[in-house]
Amino acid sequence: MADFLFSIRRDGNAQLDSYEGKDIQIVIPDHFEGKPVTVIADNAFSWLSTIQSVVIPETVTTLGEAAFSWCESLVTISIPQTVKTIGEWCFIGCSSLKSISIPSQVRKINYSTFQSCSSLSTVSLPDSLHLIGPEAFAECRSLRFITLPKNLVELGENAFASCDALTSVNIPSHLQKIGSGAFSGCVALSTITVAPDHPIFMSDDNVLINRKDKRLIFYPFEKHDHEYFVPDTVAVIDEEAFANRIHLESVILPESVHVIDQKAFYGCKNLKSIYLPDSVTRISPNAFHGCSGLQEIRLPEALTSIEYSVFYACASLSSIRIPESVRFISSCAFSGCSSLSSLNLPESLVEIGESAFEGCRSLQEITLPESLKTLGPHVFGSCSALETVNFRPGVKTIPPMMFSRCENLNCVNLPDTLEEIGSEAFINCENLISLVIPERVSFIEPDAFSECRHLMLFVYPDSYAKEYAEERDILYSEI
């Protein structure tokens, strides 16, 4: 008893606050000073890496947050039927825990309760359970089967994410909500059984679809089809619905689809073509990130923005037509598209974000439209084949490192509207021999032309650019 530290709660019952002993087999006392022990406090056994088994007395009703977190040697724990509440992170990181039986009075499994219990292979869930929270069983890599209880109402985001061994799951009749990424990374999940006449969910050849919200939720990794036609009842491709499906080569979306969610096709490295209908109005961040086999794509006419990292590292993408409706190209949108050799920028374009085309090593010429007002840093950084850039009036600032390491850049036509050139804007542009600085330019960072060894500036008499060249000992000639 001396190894257990207790306190008396306001309700008069006892709480186990911590354990300071060295035993590996723990039997928790049921009383302290004549008071029943009803609560295991937050972090009571946290990081006690040597304990192997725990018996909890039947007086206990609550297991606190992170109560047994990171007990990495814990193999077995007996949770009595009296327990009603299990706190967040209660067993996170118990990597030796093999099985768990949730008591019949528990209604909710909280956030990350069993996350990273990598040896957990058997889970018994009671019919009293209504909610499985976000990441509740994420990274339980030994879990092969799970039977979701009949009264379950909600399955949280990433609830079973990265359960590598999980092969089958059932969708019970009362389940109303499945959070995004609930089965993300479940590479062995091949069988999804939906309760007959379910009002919300359906399984179409083990492809999980929310027919009420018209969302395609999960496409099994184990499907080896090279081509897939999305059903015409689908309006949204859910987050990570097709992520890392390496067998897919072609996907055809119907006119019913309006939204492609985040990371929907992330890492589909063998995807060569995808048909996007004009009904699509949003392609969310990272949607096609790492689709290294994608060769060409036609963007929908209703699209107004190309979002963050949508086509990041699509190394085989050689051409793309950006529709006139697009006003914004976000950061890293085409970064690492090393085969992209031609590009049209529409007259509707207002902003290009940071590193949007960085590392597009096959791009040779760019014409920036008059509508363009804002450019982010590194926009064309490391575009090593880029030779010619044409600005039209509108842009006032060349941002930092916009053309950094564009070693073949030799012709840049700056706009008359230009007022400022940022830090290292042209650093390492070794083949840039001449550059006309517009008369309106009133500030140039000292290192704007670092390592441009052969550069001569053409400047207006009595201009800021002339003064800049003289102060920095840069070759110049008056216009």
Q: pLDDT tens track of the chain, all 479 residues?
A: 789 999 999 999 999 999 999 999 999 999 999 999 999 999 999 999 999 999 999 999 999 999 999 999 999 999 999 999 999 999 999 999 999 999 999 999 999 999 999 999 999 999 999 999 999 999 999 999 999 999 999 999 999 999 999 999 999 999 999 999 999 999 999 999 999 999 999 999 999 999 999 999 999 999 999 999 999 999 999 999 999 999 999 999 999 999 999 999 999 999 999 999 999 999 999 999 999 999 989 999 999 999 999 999 999 999 898 999 999 999 999 999 999 998 889 999 999 999 999 999 999 999 999 999 999 999 999 999 999 999 999 999 999 999 999 999 999 999 999 999 999 999 999 999 999 999 999 999 999 999 999 999 999 999 999 999 999 999 999 99
CA-to-CA distance for 91 and 71, rounded, in angstroms?
8
Backbone angles phi, psi at 464, to 5 degrees: -60, -40
C-alpha distance across the termini of the chain, in Å: 92
**Is this structure's pTM higher than 0.75?**
yes
Q: Which residues make Cβ contacts (< 8 Å) with residue 425, sequence separation at least 6?
A: 398, 399, 400, 401, 402, 403, 404, 445, 448, 449
Neighbours of 49 (CB within 10 A): 12
Distance CA 261, CA 286 (A): 9
Tokens 């006032």 sit on residue: 396
For residue 28, give Cα distances in angstroms to 31, 156, 274. 9, 32, 59
| Integer Cα distance of 194 and 178 in angstroms | 13
**Residue 2, pLDDT score:** 81
Average confidence score pLDDT of the chain: 96
